[in-house]
Amino acid sequence: MTTTPTQSGITVNDVAPRDGLQIESRFVPTEEKIRLIDALSRTGLAKIEATSFTSPKAIPNLRDAEEVMRGIERVPGVDYVVLVPNEKGAERALACGVDEINLVLSASDSHGRANLRMTAEQSLERFANILEITRGSDVFVNASISTAFGCPFEGEVPFKRVLSITEKLLALGVQGITLCDTTGMANPRQVADLSRETLSRWPWLPVTLHVHNTRGMGLANALVAWQSGITRFDAALGGLGGCPYAPGATGNVCTEDLVHMFEQMGVETGVDLDRLIAAAELLPAMIGHDVPGQVVKAGTSDRRYPLPETANG
């Protein structure tokens, strides 16, 4: 396995406002969502996935998508991303002046039917319509391939399946790809192999890694992806999130933990970790429970403590 990345720095897309808040048991008020996104905007993050333009019946926690997008402070240098499930969602997103649209399909048809009620081929047909709507705009279109490393219903997903879907997405006009470990089934060898294969076939393509920490391998998978040439990562503040249609799946890899790891390694992230931790400290009161992130609890590894009096004899 190579240990030298193709590039030294990374960029981070925080998905907590969308992927994290969508499955919480209670609705986070619009003004609190705006407060959270504004706090994230001042941390140096490259991207923030702010909301989803989906049906309020499907995801009631994000029923205030327009209000959120119109209420946040747009910070220069930050791209504001939204998830779009269909043509109507694309029209709503464009009306709000988003920077990037994220489309989602599953590499596993079983998971696709459970999560989206569509197979991959049906999703691709819908994406063609969405891309026609976005044509002529300045909006970047990314596609996330869920269950790229494994499906809770079918098991391992062959790499050739993921690569074939990637090829079809690019033929439609998609500009970026996210490889998603939706269920936290991936292991470092898998991640390294698929990352290298994808970058080898499309070296010009912006490829992002989206990992969950379901089995405690989130940071390990991010590290080997970086060692294999991936420099773009999704993560969620506090480690929030999880897929409701993936049995046992828990939150995304934690943004402040990810940034802390890379910064301690000397890898540039562009993120102010102190501000990021301060943003994470807002979460428990906002969502009504503790978060799984570690750095927000333990502090950074260069934190120093006073020597106990008993150590002085």
Residues with a catalytic annotation lie at 243
Which amino acid makes up residue 64? D
Using N-to-C axis directions, what is the helix angle for 255-264 and 273-280, rounded to 10°? 160
Q: How far apart are the first and last CA of the chain?
A: 50
